């Protein structure tokens, strides 16, 4: 079993829909990261969080440490949100990230 | 954008040949990482460095070696490339490895081993 599991693996949405991507992990962590990878490959860090919730524009990331679960929400989705969204965790005391396999999101206009 | 470049960006080589990929940063970050990305696996750590001449193995280090003689450069070498090393390779940097700092990623190198 992977340390980091994401769901769904693939997601197709209509423009304007509210989107949720989930990440579950099995180890104690010091931080969880959400990353975005657009077609063409570049990887960008969206959020780093260790508790609670963070918001940036239409993106919201939440984490529940007790349940070892995080969600990434996209409000009012747009075709430019189409990308792979990757969850990664840093274990307590660790200096490396462990990555989920990613969620492929396609937003249709 | 963090100043990270990778070279080459694309490479096609033959089985058995040596290959070196270069990661260069202008951020003076202490930590540098090499990952490979394959369909269905996500990003997997090959090697990382926590300072000049200080490196350690990741989860998929077999067949790879690294060197870091300067803060700004981290080299990944495939001594004798195999088809299983066909992948997209990403370099990343972070200021600190143990406090949950963000990692910033380079643009990637697409390597094909025939």
Which pLDDT value is given to residue A27?
86
> How does DSSP classify residue A51?
S
> What gap in Å lies between CA A56 and CA B11, rounded to an integer?
37
Q: Is the pLDDT of residue B35 over 60?
A: yes
Give the pLDDT confidence of B39-55 residue by residue, as tens digits: 878 899 999 999 999 99
Question: Does B2 lie at the interface with A, CB-CB under 8 angstroms?
Answer: no
Minimum CA–CA partner of A89 in chain B? B100
pLDDT of residue A74: 98
| CA pair distance A96, B35, nearest whole angstrom | 11
CB contact under 8 A, B98 and A43: no
Distance from CA of B107 to the nearest CA of A (A): 5
Q: Which of B34, B58, B103 to mutate to test the interface with A (most CBs of A within 10 A)?
A: B103
Whether A3 has a pLDDT exceeding 90, the answer reads: no
Contact B104 A45 (CB under 8 A): yes
Token output for A41: 């490959």
Eight-class DSSP state of A46: E
- Per-residue confidence (pLDDT) for residue A13, from 0 to 100: 97
Residue with tokens 């919201």: A60
Cβ neighbours around A100 below 10 Å, total? 26
The answer to whether the Cβ–Cβ distance between A45 and B103 falls below 8 Å is yes
Contact assessment for residue A42 and residue B108, using Cβ atoms and an 8 Å cutoff: yes
Using CA atoms, how far apart are residues B22 and B34, in angstroms rounded to an integer?
10
Which tens digits make up the pLDDT trace of B50-107? 999 999 999 999 999 999 999 999 999 999 999 999 999 999 998 875 555 788 999 9
Task: Confirm or reject contact between B49 and chain A (CB < 8 A).
Answer: no
């Amino acid at each position: 079993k992977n340390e980091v599991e994401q769901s769904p693996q693939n997601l197709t949405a209509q423009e304007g829909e509210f989107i949720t991507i989930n990440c579950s992990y099995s180890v104690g962590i010091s931080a969880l990261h959400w990353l975005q990878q657009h077609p063409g490959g570049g990887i960008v860090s969206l959020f780093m969080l260790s508790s609670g919730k963070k918001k940036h524009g239409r993106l919201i990331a939440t984490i529940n440490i007790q349940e070892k679960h995080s969600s990434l929400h996209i409000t009012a989705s747009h075709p430019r949100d189409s990308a792979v969204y990757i969850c990664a965790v840093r274990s307590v005391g660790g200096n490396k990230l462990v990555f989920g396999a990613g969620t492929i999101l396609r937003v249709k206009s | 954008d963090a100043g990270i470049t990778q070279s080459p960006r694309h490479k096609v080589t033959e089985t058995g040949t040596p290959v070196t990929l270069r990661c260069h940063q202008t951020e003076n970050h202490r930590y540098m990482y090499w990952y490979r990305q394959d369909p269905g696996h996500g990003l997997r750590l090959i090697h990382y460095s926590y300072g000049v001449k200080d490196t350690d193995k990741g989860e998929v280090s077999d067949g790879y070696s690294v060197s870091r003689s300067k803060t700004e450069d981290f080299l990944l070498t495939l001594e004798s490339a195999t088809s299983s090393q066909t992948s997209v390779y990403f370099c990343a940097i972070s200021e600190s490895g143990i406090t949950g700092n963000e990692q910033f990623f380079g643009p990637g190198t697409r390597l094909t081993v025939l």
